């Protein structure tokens, strides 16, 4: 057996508002509309399921040095994405050079997302 792909569940307060945000900033498109979730995909096949967040959960992990993203996406040019998000008014964290190049930011619901470039190969 070989795992071929994956998907993520992201809790949001408004499915369609969030879908539009993920489309505008990260290139996702709605591919499945269900009463309890929206499935989004990128051209390269990355899948995300937006689910209603009735419990007001913020999806991230807490480490001793602060909160850490639960969702990470690998991009081809981290510098371009950093600049684009900043120009769109999204508050981004500084670029980090730890085990690859990355930076974090929040979606409108407070979920921490992280973009990576040059992620080390196994």
Residue-wise pLDDT tens digits, 43-87: 999 999 999 987 766 666 666 666 677 788 889 899 999 999 999
Nearest Cα to Cα of residue 42 among 11, 13, 71, 73: 73
Those residues whose C-beta lies under 8 Å from the C-beta of residue 92, and which sit 6 or more positions away, are 82, 85, 86, 103, 104, 105
- Tell me if 111 is assigned to some domain: yes
In residues, how long is the chain?
A: 122
Domain boundary pick from 34, 52, 70: 52
**Is the predicted pLDDT of residue 29 greater than 90, yes or no?**
yes
Query: Which value, to the nearest 10 degrees, does the dihedral of the CA atoms of residues 95, 99, 44, 19 take?
Result: -50
pLDDT band (50, 70, 90) for residue 6: confident
Range of the domain at 107: 60-117
**47 lies in the same domain as 66:** no
- 65 and 23 belong to one structural domain: no
**What CATH number does the domain containing 18 carry?**
3.30.720.120
80 and 41 in one domain? no
Average pLDDT over residues 32-53: 94
Q: According to the model, what pLDDT value does residue 122 have?
A: 59
In a domain, 103, yes or no: yes
Integer Cα distance of 57 and 47 in angstroms = 21
Mean pLDDT of 10-25: 95
Q: In whole angstroms, what is the distance from residue 41 CA to residue 20 CA?
A: 12
Residue 120's contacts (CB-CB under 8 Å, 6 or more residues apart) are 99, 100
Q: Are residues 14 and 33 in the same domain?
A: yes
User: What is the number of other CB atoms lying within 10 angstroms of the CB of residue 116?
Assistant: 19
Per-residue tokens: 51: 């689910």
Mean pLDDT throughout 5-34?
94
Residue 34 pLDDT exceeds 90: yes
């Amino acid at each position: 057996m070989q795992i071929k792909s994956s998907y993520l569940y992201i809790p949001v307060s408004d499915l369609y508002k969030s879908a539009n945000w993920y489309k505008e900033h990260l290139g996702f498109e709605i591919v499945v509309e269900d009463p309890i979730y929206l499935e989004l995909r990128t051209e390269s096949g990355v899948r995300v399921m937006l689910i209603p967040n009735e419990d007001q959960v913020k999806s991230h992990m807490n480490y001793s040095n602060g909160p850490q993203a639960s969702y990470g996406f690998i991009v081809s040019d981290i510098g371009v994405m950093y600049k684009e998000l900043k120009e769109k008014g999204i508050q981004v964290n500084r670029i980090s050079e730890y085990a690859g190049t990355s930076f974090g930011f929040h979606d409108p619901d407070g979920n921490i997302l992280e973009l990576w470039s040059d992620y080390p190969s196994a």
